[in-house]
Structure 1
């Protein structure tokens, strides 16, 4: 950025919100210019409520913003981008959850996601630079589907290898590559 203005890093968590030990939670704690979309107190499965929460968090930030989204947070981000025109400096979209495909047990059902407005996944080109980090063995998003989404969004695809869903259950607390990819968006 020019003139010494550093973008605010806005964390967009997935449906499980803020998980202790998650790389997004740890990233927010280590970056001086980071904030997070707060957890919803009600309507947690509503896509519209999640998009409104992202928009409200953005409204509190003056200046440039880099979005850092994970899982369903990526879907919140792309739904938001389709509905709003605020300038965004860039976005890191990590391990997008393919909400158009039935998810494993323990996650919302396909029908519950449909009723709550998650379908279809927006496929329009994003109006800001973006990087999609895709896992080769993510149980919530097959690599080929995520690759196609990244292409449609105009995002640069980064093959992360076999990192599962890039969360604590897959062995990820800290994820140092996140800061490297964020720097690429500066």
Structure 2
């Protein structure tokens, strides 16, 4: 079985060197960060097209490891932008720390991400939420997971599930992602 590529989709502002996404990327050559047109001024169309180009160019199956705004990018891409041939490459997505576009902390320079799509996503997904994420409530994450047909996992009070959350390499989530890559 061909090992999947893993596209890393950080959120607004990108992920720093101590973030679990960056750690995974450093530890495994299969992990590739999708470069967004502008990390500080996010427009849905540009971010979704960047993901689309990456998946279209992939010569192997794909997994997506998305954080924050990268999760909404994944949902929008899968429901509005992707062609069937690209969707067929995606084995699954880990969607961590969904931000609520209607929430008070949502970045003013992130445009077009709300309201979020409410259709079932066309590949397996797991939504992971924290009880004290300032960017999105567990109720918002659970509602998205339900609409998208995603597994849902609450990891307790871990903030925005980033470098400040004390997760280090976050082996539990890496296991969830790896498991998606072994299913057909």
TM over 0.5: yes
RMSD: 1.7
Which structure 1 residue ranges, 4+ long, deviate > 4 Å from structure 2? none
Name the structure 1 match of 2:73.
Answer: 76
Aligned equivalent of 2:59, options 54, 58, 62: 62
Written as runs of structure 1 = structure 2, the 5 A alignment for 1:6-155 is: 6-41=3-38, 44-83=41-80, 84-85=82-83, 86=86, 87=88, 88-103=90-105, 108-109=107-108, 112-113=109-110, 116-155=111-150
Unaligned runs of 5+ in 2: none
Give 1:98 deviation, angstroms: 1.2
Q: Distance in 2 between matches of 1:172 and 1:43?
A: 25
How far apart, CA to CA, are the structure 2 residues paired with 1:78 and 1:51? 9
TM-score by length of 2: 0.88
> Which sections of structure 1, spanning at least 5 residues, go unmatched?
none
Contact 2:127–2:153, Cα closer than 8 Å, also in 1: yes
Q: Distance in 1 between matches of 2:57 and 2:102?
A: 31
Q: Deviations over 1:129-154 (max 9, x none)?
A: 01111111111110111111101000
